[in-house]
Amino acid sequence: MKNLIFSVLFVLLFSGVVFAQTQTDLNIEAGQRYELADRELNLVYNQIRARYAHSPLLLEKLRDAQRLWIQFRDASVLAVFPEDNPRDHYGSMYPMLVSNLLERLTRDRIQQLREVYLEQFYY
């Protein structure tokens, strides 16, 4: 029985499985995931700009739409966390919650842009 317990503990300790993280670690990780999504969004946006370089009106309208999407994204975050002092309400996990939502909205936008402009779903 002692060998079984020792074996399980050994596997858990050295398998790379991490059970405890601080909230700060979780906040940082969520922020990094959002930053990756934001970089991917910029890459997709630049791919679209390159593909449609021959269509300045399309690019102008896309730029306008993207600016409005940013406003929508930011308003969506405020709608989900409407409190005047959200850190007081949600505590130390507030940055993680916001980053998770921003990542989700950004990944949704990436998919929209790919479908509409790069996969020629509509155009």
The domain ranges of the chain are: 22-118
Q: What is the pLDDT of residue 120?
A: 73
Q: What is the pLDDT of residue 5?
A: 63
Residues 6+ apart with CB under 8 A from 118: 44, 47, 48, 51
Distance (Å) of CA 41 to CA 15, 29, 30, 96: 34, 18, 17, 20
Local mean pLDDT, 10-residue blocks, the chain (123 residues): 59 57 96 98 98 97 98 97 91 97 98 93 58
- CATH number of the domain at 22-118, please? 1.20.1270.180
For the chain, the farthest-separated pair of C-alpha atoms sits apart, in whole angstroms, at 73
- pTM of the shown model: 0.81
